[in-house]
Structure 1
C-alpha cells in the first residue's frame, strides 16, 4: 500500500541530503508561496496591459461604439491575464491567451498583450520544456508576421500599427523564451541532481540493510557450526568418561573435553569480535575452521569409527578451503548426532585441478530427509558462495551420503537448491 508523500518527508530527506539553502530571501519566499507569487504576477501584468488598452482613440468611431470597444478590450485583457494563475499547471493556456490578445491588438491599435506574451513564453520554457517553448515561439512569430503582412497588404491596418505590434510581440517573446530556457534548464538540472541524490540515499540504505542481513546469516552459520560440532564432541566425550571404569581413559576424555570447549570459546570470541564497537584487538574475521584431519581425529577421540582418505592434491582458494573445513565438520557432526550406532564414518576428499569432491558416508542412519535444520542449509549457502553444490540423502543399507563438489577457485555466488538432513 502506497503512502502519500508529505511535506515533512521531503524536508527530512533534504536535511539528510544536506542541501544548501536557495540563494536570495525573496526567491525562497516565492518558492514557499507559489499561489501568492502567481496572483501578484497576474495583477502586475494586468496593470501593465490595461494601460495601453485604455489609450484607444478614434474620432470617426461613435462614442457608444468607442465605449463598447474599450469595455471589450479591457474584458479581454482581464481574462487573458487571469490565465497566468494556471501557468505552472497548464503553461500553454497563457500563451494561447497572449496570441489571441495580440491578434486582437492588430485591429484595435494598442499592443496590450506584449507583457503577457513575455511571461507566457517564460512559463512555457520553465514549466514545460525548452523544445515546447521554442516551437510555440516560432509558431507565434510566423503567425504575427504573416497576419500583419496580410493585413497591411489588404489595407485593413496601417503599416506602422502592424509593424509595431508584430515586432513588439516577436522581440518580447524572444526575450521571455531565452530567459525561460536558461532558468528552466537550470531548474531541471538541479531537480535531476537532487532526485539522483535521493535515489543514491535510498540505495545506500538498501545496501546497508542487505549487508546487515548477509552478516547476520554469516554469523548464524558460523555460530551453528561452532556450537553444534563442539557440543556434539563434548557430549560424546563426557558420556564416554562417565561410562568407562578406567580412570586414565576418563581423565583423557575430560582433558579432550576441556580442549574442545576451550577451542570453541576461542573461535566464538574471534567470530563475535566483528560485532564489537570498541578498540578490541580481536580480528574482524572468524578463525579458519578446523582442518578435516582435526575434525576426524576429534570424532575418533570421542569414540566414533571415523576415517579420512585424501586423494590427489591441488591449490584451493581461501574461500574454498573454508568451505571444505565447514562441510567436513558439519557432515561428521551430523553423523555423530544422528547415527550414534554407526559402525563407520568415512570421509573422502578427492582433489583434481578443477574441483574438490567431498564424500561423507555413515551407516546407522534413520529417518528421512529433514527440512527444518540449519546446518546443511548453511553448507548449501557456503557451497553456493563458491559456485559449488551440496547433496545430502539416504541410500540403501541404512547409509547416509553427503556429497559436495566445489571448484578449486572461488567464483561468484549462484542460487542453489539442496536437500538437507534434519540436523536440528
Structure 2
C-alpha cells in the first residue's frame, strides 16, 4: 500500500498535514534575510532606473530641466530610503507601507510619468505580516491620499494629466495586486499556523487524557486486586487457623481442600484482572463479572462463621458493571466482618431486587474496629464507595442498630431497564 493511501497509519496521514512547499518556497523560508535583501535590491533597481532616465528627454524650454535638477535628489533619497526599509518589512510592515506611499508621492515630482513596485510589495507585506483588514485599510488610505494630492497638483497645473493618471492607475493597480496576493498568502499562512496550534493542543489533550485514563485504570486494578487478595487471604488465614487447631487429620482435610480451592479462585481472578496489562489483543479488557455472592458466603461459612444469604425479589438481567459491584460489595463486607469484627460469629447477607434498584446489606454481630475499616489510607471501604458511585449508586457503612457493623448499598436499575 502506498504511503499516501487511505490505509496508511503514519502520523502525517492521520493529522492531514498540508502539502509541503516546493524547493523555492522552502529556500525563501529558510533564508528570510537573503530574501529581504534581494527584494530590496530588485525594488531599488526598478525604481531608480526610470527616475534617472529623464535627463535626455526633458524640455529645458519650459524650465522642466531646471526644476528636475532641484527635485531629483529628493526623489532619489526618498526612493533609496523606501527600498532600504524593505529590509525590516517583516518586523515593521506598517512603517514600510508608509514609506512606500512616500515613494509614490515623490514620483509626482518627476518630469514624466514613472513608478515602481514599492507600493505593491508594501501592500503584500502588510497583508502577510499584519492582517488582511490592516492591508485593506492601508490601501484605502494610501489611494485616498494619492488621489487628493494628485487632484490638487493637477488643478494648479503643477503636474500634467499623464503624470496624474499614471499615479492614480499605476500605483492603484500595483497596490491592489499586491494586496490580493498578500491576502491570499497571509490567510494561508495564518490558517496553517492555526492548524499547527490546534494540533499541538490536541496532542496535549491526548496526553492528558492518556494520563487520566492510566490513573483511572491503576485505581481500578488496585480496587480489584484488593478485593481479590484481601478476601481470599482472609478466608485462607481463617481456614489455616482452623486446620492448625485440629489434631484430627480427617477433620482438617476439608479445610485444607477449601484453602487450595480459595487460592485457585484467587489466582484465576487475578489473571483476569491483570490480563488488561498484556499487549495481546485477546486479553480481556475488564475482570470477569461473574456472580460470586454465594461463593463468598460459602467461604465465610467454611471459615467457621454462621453466614447466611437471603435473596428477595425477581432478579433482572444485570449489566456487568452492576453485577460486579454487587459481588464486590458482598465480598468486601464479608471480608471486613471476618477480619475486623471482634467476636463475630454471624454474618447475614441480604440482596433485594426491587423494581428500580438493588439493595445489598451485610450485617455482623461482632464488635467493629472503626479505625481499621474506615482508614482513609486503605482500599477497603474507599474502593467500595468508588465502585458503587461508578455504578450510579450509594453506599453507607457504620455500626448496626444493636450490635455489629452494617454495610448498606443501593444501586439503581434505571439504566438497565432503559438499555433493555
Q: Normalised by the size of structure 2, how large is the TM-score? A: 0.86
Tell me if the contact between 1:46 and 1:78 (Cα under 8 Å) persists in the aligned partners: yes
2:408 equivalent among 396, 403, 407: 403
Shift of 1:21: 7.0
Counterpart for residue 393 of structure 2: 388
Q: 2:270 aligns with which of 268, 271, 274?
A: 268
Q: Give 1:341's aligned residue.
A: 343
* Conserved 8 A contact 1:366-1:398: no
- Give the C-alpha shift of residue 111 in structure 1: 6.5
Moved more, 375-384 or 360-369: 360-369
Q: 1:238 to 1:176 in 2, by over 3 A?
A: same
Q: In the alignment, which residue of structure 2 is the partner of 1:253?
A: 255
Whole-angstrom distance in 2 between the partners of 1:28 and 1:99 = 31
Moved more, 255-264 or 68-77: 68-77
Q: Could you say which residue in structure 1 is the equivalent of 2:157?
A: 155
Partner SS, residue 117 of structure 2 = helix
Query: In structure 2, which of residues 74, 77, 83 is the aligned counterpart of residue 75 of structure 1?
Result: 77
Mapping 1:116-265, distance limit 5 Å:
116-265=118-267
Question: What are structure 1's unaligned runs of at least 5 residues?
Answer: 1-12, 412-424
Q: Name which of structure 1's ranges 13-22 and 228-237 shifts more when overlaid on structure 2.
A: 13-22
Distance 1:345 1:40, change over 3 A: same
- Distance apart, 1:289 and its partner CA: 4.7
Is 1:41–2:42 an aligned residue pair? no
Q: TM (normalized to structure 1)?
A: 0.85
Instruction: Verify the 8 A CA contact 2:86 2:96 in the aligned structure 1.
Output: yes
| Aligned-residue offset at 1:248 | 2.8
Q: Does 2:320 align with 1:318?
A: yes
C-alpha change, 1:53 and 1:234, in structure 2 (3 Å) is same
1:56-111 deviation per Cα after TM superposition (whole angstroms, max 9, x unaligned) = 54643686x75553332222112212222232223211111111221222234466
- The answer to whether the 8 Å contact 2:223/2:383 transfers is yes
Stretch of structure 1 that moved more, 285-294 or 256-265: 285-294
1:288-340 deviation per Cα after TM superposition (whole angstroms, max 9, x unaligned): 25422221111011111222222323423221111111111011101111114
1:317, 1:410 within 8 Å by CA — same for their partners in 2?
A: no
How many residues are paired up? Answer: 397
**Residues 203 and 304 of structure 1: is their aligned pair in 2 closer, same or farther, counting only changes over 3 Å?**
same
Superposed CA RMSD in Å reads: 2.6
Shift of 1:223: 1.0
Alignment CA distance shift 1:236-1:167 (3 Å): same
C-alpha change, 1:140 and 1:14, in structure 2 (3 Å) is farther
How much does 1:212 deviate? Answer: 2.1
> Which residue does the alignment assign to 2:6?
none
**How far apart, in 2, do the equivalents of 1:408 and 1:81 lie?**
78
CA deviation map 1:199-245 (0-9, x unaligned): 33333333222222222222111111111111110000110111123
**Matching residue of 1:366:** 369
| Pair 1:72–1:210, CA change in 2 (3 A) | same
Correspondent of 1:357 among 343, 354, 359: 359
CA distance 1:113–1:236, change in 2 (3 Å) = farther
Which residue number corresponds to residue 28 of structure 1?
Answer: 26
**Aligned equivalent of 1:300:** 301
Q: Who is 1:287 aligned against?
A: 288
Is the contact between residue 383 and residue 406 of structure 1 (CA under 8 Å) also seen in structure 2? yes
Where in structure 2 are there 5+ consecutive unaligned residues?
A: 1-10
Secondary structure of 2:314 counterpart: coil
CA contact (8 A) 1:52 1:110 kept: no
